[in-house]
Amino acid sequence: MTIRENLEQWEKQYLSPYASYSTDSKGRMRPEPHCDVRPVFQRDRDRIVHCKAFRRLKDKTQVFLSPEGDHYRTRLTHTLEVSQNARTIAKALRLNEELVEAIALGHDLGHTPFGHAGERALNRICPLGFEHNLQSVRTVDRLEKKGQGLNLTEEVRDGILNHQTSGTPHTLEGKIVRLSDKIAYIHHDMDDAVRAGILKESDVPREIRDVIGSTPSDRFDHFIHDIVNASMGRDDIRMSEETHLAMTRMRAFMFEHVYENPVAKSEEAKAERLMETLYLHFLHHIDSLPEEFRGLLEQGEPREQVVCDYVGAMTDRYAIAVYDDIYIPKSWMG
């Protein structure tokens, strides 16, 4: 018996009957031989961690554009916090940690530079539209490995696709990530807003603080315990009604005071114009795209989609550098 088979047997013996077992996976788009060491979801996690899109998350905005400080979250640190939240919940409920980790690490791979400002710009200017969850799936299916994709399992792809509020994941592990994403950004975006001087903890309405706590660690602890207690022994992942209502109110508070705050978002209009300008430039100079993106065009992909693929994959820093190179005059060198 191989190491993988031993691990698969352990899953059946130890994990909850509601867990997603590696042996029951719906499989990959392209069948491939099994690894003799790693079950399929562990293998997916490893593929995501080693892909280029994952590395680029370190230089993509979470909330604050180009913050003056070393401790503000990026899209990568957000992703890692989502993963940790999800693993904690999955371990407590005896669900598949490797599946939740793979989904969590891959859920934002399709995010644009400059956070949701970049997403809004591409969605507005591209006739095909742009949604980062769809682009995350496209990234793992089509864009990584020079067009070959990562060939992930259906369960991981489903969790990535459905991680937003409007999504309905088909596994409990996917549902854990969906809630963990919200827990993470409520936790760390409030922390960053306090660090930036935009908010004080006392600004959060008392009816919210009385339920979920008055510090980032209190809120994190409350959400995790509430989900575990409400979901234990059930074929579902849920919060108590009281906590769900408090979370909904906290999200509304964050949208009003942080996500739509004119001070915190003062540079976003510039970022959106930059993204639109880059999109239009490459749409009309399609031959200047890198070779791997031109290859997608040769395979019949719409040019609007391929330009979104290229511009949307950029990091904040690279997008600014490309814009500078195209539009900012250089000093003449004789």
C-alpha distances (whole Å) from 129 to each of 113, 125, 155, 332 are: 16, 8, 25, 40
Total domains in the chain come to 2
The average pLDDT across 201-223 equals: 91
Looking at 235, 259, 283, which one is the last position of a domain?
259
Q: In the prediction, which pLDDT does 190 show?
A: 83
Asked if residue 228 belongs to a domain, the reply is yes
148 and 287 together in one domain: no
Residue 89 confidence class, pLDDT cut points 50, 70, 90:
very high
Coil, helix or strand for 242?
A: helix
Asked if residue 21 belongs to a domain, the reply is no
89 and 116 together in one domain: yes
Pick 196 or 172 by higher pLDDT. 172
255 and 276 together in one domain: no
Looking at 242, 259, 276, which one is the last position of a domain?
259
Looking at 230, 259, 288, which one is the last position of a domain?
259
222 and 302 together in one domain: no
Q: Where are the alpha helices (DSSP H) in the chain?
A: 3-14, 40-49, 52-56, 75-93, 97-106, 115-125, 132-138, 154-161, 172-195, 206-212, 216-231, 241-254, 268-284, 291-298, 303-313, 316-327
241 and 283 together in one domain: no
Residue 80 has pLDDT above 80, yes or no: yes
Largest CA-CA distance found in the chain, in angstroms, rounded: 75
Q: In the prediction, which pLDDT does 196 show?
A: 78
Q: In the prediction, which pLDDT does 217 show?
A: 85
Residue 164 has pLDDT above 70, yes or no: yes
Residue 285 has pLDDT above 80, yes or no: yes
Query: Minimal CA–CA distance to 144: which of 320, 325, 296, 322?
Result: 296
Residue 209 has pLDDT above 60, yes or no: yes
Residue 31 has pLDDT above 70, yes or no: yes
Asked if residue 279 belongs to a domain, the reply is yes
The average pLDDT across 219-237 equals: 96
Q: In the prediction, which pLDDT does 46 show?
A: 98
Domain CATH number, residue 76: 1.10.3210.10
In this structure, of 7-16, 90-99, 179-188, 303-312, the range with the lowest mean pLDDT score is 179-188
242 and 304 together in one domain: no
323 and 185 together in one domain: no
In this structure, of 55-59, 68-72, 116-120, the range with the lowest mean pLDDT score is 68-72
Asked if residue 13 belongs to a domain, the reply is no
222 and 244 together in one domain: yes
Where is mean pLDDT largest: 118-122, 248-252, 268-272?
118-122
Side-chain half-sphere CA neighbours of 258 within 13 A: 28
Task: Return d(Cα 148, Cα 136) in angstroms, integer.
Answer: 15
Pick 110 or 257 by higher pLDDT. 110
157 and 298 together in one domain: no
Asked if residue 28 belongs to a domain, the reply is no
pTM, 2 dp: 0.94
Q: In the prediction, which pLDDT does 322 show?
A: 97
245 and 150 together in one domain: yes
Residue 264 confidence class, pLDDT cut points 50, 70, 90:
low
The average pLDDT across 16-44 equals: 97
Q: In the prediction, which pLDDT does 68 show?
A: 53
Residue 62 has pLDDT above 80, yes or no: no
290 lies in which domain range? 268-327
> Could you give the percent of the chain with pLDDT greater than 70?
95
The average pLDDT across 271-288 equals: 97
251 and 276 together in one domain: no
In whole numbers, what is the pLDDT of the chain averaged over residues?
A: 92
- Could you tell me which residues come within 8 angstroms of residue 32 by beta carbon, excluding any fewer than 6 positions away? 151
Asked if residue 17 belongs to a domain, the reply is no
Residue 197 has pLDDT above 60, yes or no: yes
254 and 308 together in one domain: no
